[in-house]
Amino acid sequence: MLAITNAKIHTMVGPVIEKGTIVIEDGKITAVGADVKVPDGAQVVDAKGRHVSPGIIEAHGHAGVYEAGNGWAGADGNEATHPITPQVRAIDGANPEDTSFADFRKHGVTAMHIMPGSANLIGGECFVVKHKEAATIDEMILLWPSGMKAALGENPKRVYGTQKKAPATRMGNAAMMREWLQKAKDYAAKKKKAAEDEDAKEPNFDMKLEALVPVINGEMPMHIHCHRQDDIATAIRIAGEFGVKYTLEHATLGHKVVDLLKENDVSCAVGPSMYFEGKVEVVGIGFDGPATLHEHGVHFCLTNDHPVIHARYLRVAAGQLEAEGVPGEDALKSITIWAAEHIGVADRIGSIEQGKDADLVIWSGEPLDARSRADVTMIDGKVVFERE
């Protein structure tokens, strides 16, 4: 049992507790508040007035499948040999020894949604990990599977179009995505019929379609990469046609179609906003975009798309969001609880509340101050990093 005392607690579910205590037992938060008593026998960690927040969450990253410092040998994030690869799984390519994970612990980033890249229209299955030190990736799993990566816009059409293969245009992107979702829908229907009717024939096994069945059945969301507002509209259009659950990833120009996002109650993971205008579809990238979403009440969180921008700089991104007028606590929510909600793990992490996992950080200063550092990072109630 552990108690963190004298902490300025950013719970993410209420006002900041100026001076409070957090009690942790068996990896869970059992109590948090200004008047919480330290139980007998608890090991006490005196925060000495420092800020404590939930661990930072990267809602859209590629750590482990695009490893730091390993070049081609560590590049396993895009199975760019066919535009539709729903059957591949990020978990089969994620290396827990990617040195980025140690970096994350040092900087208070405690969880990531690991996804295939955006070379393919349908890129493969995603999963969520905690940044624990572990010999196998399986020991780091928080949620598996979490969703199916998809992408529209320039990337798929560039990867395949430059090889003179389909898709070569945005029309091609949409048509192929639609074609495969339809095939998956038919396949799922055949399977359902075969299960119900003894005489009905099972469809021929198709691994790609098999992997899409949970998406078609609404059990698993699609995470659709799109930057420009027209690609956002296409994503919403296709998802609506098939009635699938989905989130939007990047949504860089989402602020241009705020009403559309609101109408469809879409959740967006916005970023990497610290990036430059390297492609046409990201012209206009910046923090005014998510600030606008915030203003209009659209569900969103921030992402650095690690490693495009290293996930350790998520606090810097949130600080920039605050600079655009978003209140500090909300900016912090955009890299904690709203990220957890976006990826479907808010029951476990993202806020400091009784019953949730003790994934916490004690900061040397204000969490959104770029000059602050993580002094203590904790996952499941265990200290995984401590600054000397």
Partner 1 sequence: MLAIVNGKMMPVSGDPIEGGAILIRDGKIAAVGKDLKIPSEARIIDADGRPVTPGIIEAHAHIGLGEAGIGWAGADVNESSDPVTAYARAIDGLNPLDTAFDEFRAAGITCASVVPGSGNVIGGTGLAIKCQGTIVDDMVVKNPTGMKAALGENPKGSYGRRKKLPSTRMGSAAVMRETLFKAREYLKKKDKAEGEDDVSKLPKHDKNLEALLPVLRGEIPLHIHCHRADDITTAVRLCREFEVPFVLEHVTEANHVIDLLKGADTHLAIGPTMHYGSKVENRERDFRTPVEVARAGIPFCLITDHPVLHGKYLTMSAGLAVTWGMDYDLALRSVTLSAAEHVGIADRVGSLEVGKDADIVIWSGDPLDYITFANYTIIDGEVAYQREVE
Partner 2 sequence: MKNISTKVFKGATIYPVYGPKIEDGVMIVEGGKIKAIGSAKDVEIPAVEVIDVSGKVILPGFVDAHSHVGVWGDGEGSAAYDGNEMGNPIAAKVSALDAANPEQVSFAGAREGGITSLQIIPGSGNPVGGLAFACKTAGTIIDDMVIKNPTGLKGALGENPKRAYGQFFKKAPMTRMGTAGVIRDYFHQVKEYMAKKEAAEARAKEAEAKAEDAEANGNGVAPGPDYNPDLEAGALVMKGEIPFRVHAHRYDDIITAVRICEEFGIPFSIEHCTTGFKVAQFLGERGAVAHVGPGLFSRGKQELADADERNPALLDAAGVKVCLITDHPFLDSSYLLPYAGVAHKHGMPLDRVLRALTLNPAESLGIEDRVGSLTPGKDADFVVMSGEPFTYTSVILSTHIEGNVVYKRPTL
Please tell me what DSSP assigns to residue 135: S
Residue 75 touches which member of partner 2, partner 1, none, C-beta under 5-8 Å by kind = partner 1
Does residue number 72 form part of the binding site for partner 2 (CB under 8 A)?
yes
Among 35, 40, 73, 135, binds partner 2 (CB under 8 A): 73
For 347, the 3-state DSSP assignment is coil
Q: Find the shortest distance in angstroms from Cβ 72 to partner 2.
A: 6
Of 101 and 246, CB closest to partner 1: 101
Among 80, 194, 316, 383, binds partner 1 (CB under 8 A): 80
Does residue number 205 form part of the binding site for partner 2 (CB under 8 A)?
no
Of 88 and 345, CB closest to partner 1: 88
Among 15, 41, 71, 355, binds partner 2 (CB under 8 A): 71
| Run of H or E including 101 | helix 99-106
Does residue number 136 form part of the binding site for partner 1 (CB under 8 A)?
yes
Q: Which residues contact 174 (CB under 8 A, 6 or more apart)?
A: 152, 234, 238
Stretch that binds partner 2, among 28-36, 65-73, 151-159, 362-370 (CB under 8 A): 65-73
Stretch that binds partner 1, among 95-103, 240-248, 350-358, 367-375 (CB under 8 A): 95-103
Residue 138 touches which member of partner 1, partner 2, none, C-beta under 5-8 Å by kind = partner 1
Q: Which residues contact 327 (CB under 8 A, 6 or more apart)?
A: none
To the nearest 10 degrees (0 to 180), the angle between helices 314-323 and 288-295 is 60
Among 205, 259, 371, 388, binds partner 1 (CB under 8 A): 205
For 270, the 3-state DSSP assignment is strand
* Site for partner 1, residues 147 to 166, rule: CB under 8 A: 163
Q: Find the shortest distance in angstroms from Cβ 205 to partner 1.
A: 5
Does residue number 73 form part of the binding site for partner 1 (CB under 8 A)?
yes
Of 77 and 153, CB closest to partner 1: 77
DSSP 180-248: HHHHHHHHHHHHHHHHH-TTSPPPPP-HHHHHHHHHHTTSS-EEEEE-SHHHHHHHHHHHHHHT--EEE
- Cβ contact 362:52 at 8 Å: yes
* Site for partner 1, residues 265 to 294, rule: CB under 8 A: none
- Cβ contact 379:130 at 8 Å: yes
Q: Find the shortest distance in angstroms from Cβ 270 to partner 1.
A: 26
DSSP 301-327: EE--TTTTS-GGGHHHHHHHHHHTT--
Tell me how far apart the alpha carbons of residues 129 and 21 are, in angstroms, rounded to a whole number: 27
Which residues of this protein are in contact with partner 2, per CB under 8 A? Answer: 70-73
